[in-house]
Amino acid sequence: MSNGPTADPFAFFREAVNQWEKSANALGTQILGSEKTVEMMHKGTAASLQAQNAMKDGMGKALAAANMPSKADIEALGTRLGNVEAQLARIETLLSGKAQTAKAEAPKPKRTRTAPPAA
């Protein structure tokens, strides 16, 4: 039996990943610590938002020119349809409750018929 240290086959890999993470973190901290980098990131985000808004406006105008509904129009229709369905469900509940009450209150027919006399 050997009393030497046990060889861990993944020790080298773990050490390499740790070193890589430390160097990547140091580089990221160095880059993001600069005011110019932060300013450029803000400008990039603002430009992206402006491009999205321009695309949204352009699509809205194109859809209006083609006489087609926009996303906002479809969402409004969906909301109105949901409201109508809720109202119908309430009416249906009220009507079914009244129908059950009417059935319970309906008079039963009188049992006036008698059996014929036995001969």
Q: Domain map of the chain by residue range?
A: 13-68, 69-102
* 117 phi-psi bin (left φ>0, alpha ψ -120 to 50, beta other): beta
**pLDDT at residue 1, rounded to an integer:** 46
**pLDDT at residue 46, rounded to an integer:** 97
As a whole number, mean pLDDT of residues 13-30 equals: 92
- Token couple for 89: 């469900």
Residue 45 has pLDDT above 90, yes or no: yes
CA distances from 83 to 75, 76, 97, 118 (A): 13, 11, 21, 67
